Amino acid sequence: MSEYTLYCFAQSGNAYKTALMLELCKLDWQAKFVDFFNGEARSPDYRAINEMGEVPVLLHGDARLTQTGVILDYLAGMTGRFGAKTPEEGREILRWLFWDNHKLTSYTATYRFLINFAQTGTTPVTQFLEQRMRTAFKVLDERLEDRDWIVGTNASIADISACGYLFWPDEFGVDWRDYPGIGAWLERIKAIDGWRAPYDLMPGHADLEQPRD
C-alpha cells in the first residue's frame, strides 16, 4: 500500500498535473485507474468519492482531496517543494493556478476532448474553444517571453499546473514554434529531474496496454 493513492487515467491532463508533482517530489504513490471513457466518473459510486464527478482525487491518510490546485498546494506544503517562498509569491502562484483552471486548461482540455477523442471535426463549438485556447496560449507565451518560470526564479506548482495539457500539442493541432516562449519553457520542465510524459506515468493508455509489434 503506497502512501498516496491517485484516482487518474492517462489521458487526463488534470490528473497528470498531480501525478507529475508526486513523481517530481519522489513520493510513494500508486495510481487507481478511473475508466473515464466508459463513464465511471459519472457513476454514483464515483460521485460518492467526488461529488464534482471529476478526476483526479488524491487519498493521503484520512485526507481525500479533489481539484488539482488544492492537491498541488497540499503537496507543496507537505514536501516543501515547488511552493512559495513568501506570502506575495504564494498569491502570485495561486493567481496563475486560478488562471490556468479557468482560461488555459478549461478551453484546451475541452477542445482536445472534442477534436481528439469525440472527433467532432470542426464545429462552431470547437472554433469557439480553439479561439479562447489560443488567447490563453498568447497570455502564457508573453508571460514566458523574458522569464524561465511562471512565478519567481524557480519551477513552482504554477508551472506544473499550467503544463498539464501542453505535452500533447499534436492532439490539439498546435505547433509550439508559434508560441516559442511556451515551447522553451516546456523543455525546461522536461529537464527537471524525474520528469515523465503523461502516457508513461498513468494507466489507461492503449499503447501501454497493448504491446506493439
Based on CB atoms, which residue is closest to its own copies, 121 or 211? 121
Comparing CB distances to its own copies, the nearer of 85 and 91 is 91
> Which residue lies nearer to its own copies by CB, 102 or 190?
102
**108 — phi, psi (to 5°)?**
-65, -45
Closest approach of its own copies to the CB of residue 12, in Å: 14
Q: Using CB under 8 A as the criterion, which residues of the chain lie in contact with its own copies when the complex forms?
A: 51-53, 63, 65-70, 73-74, 88, 91, 94-95, 97-99, 101-103, 105-106, 123-125, 128, 139, 142-143
CA pseudo-torsion sign 99, 102, 103, 109: positive
- What are the two backbone dihedrals, phi and then psi, of residue 29, each rounded to the nearest 5 degrees? -135, 155
Q: How far is CA 19 from CA 9, 32, 88, in A?
A: 10, 11, 27
What are the b/e assignments for 159-190, b being 16+ CB within 10 Å? bbbbbbbbbbbebbebebeebebbbebbeebe
Closest to 201 in 3D by CA, of 10, 21, 27, 4: 10
- Least Å distance between CB 211 and its own copies? 37
Which C-beta is closer to its own copies: that of 84 or that of 191? 84
Distance CA 181, CA 19 (A): 24
CB-nearer residue toward its own copies: 12 or 105: 105
Min. distance of Cβ 54 from its own copies in angstroms?
8
Retrieve residue 203's grid coordinates.
494507466
CB of 102 to its own copies, least distance (A): 5
d(C-alpha 167, C-alpha 176), whole Å: 10
Which CB atom, from 139 or from 208, has the smaller least distance to its own copies? 139
CB of 178 to its own copies, least distance (A): 19
- Least distance from its own copies to the Cβ atom of residue 213, Å: 40
The sign of the torsion formed by the CA atoms of 158, 161, 167, 173 equals negative
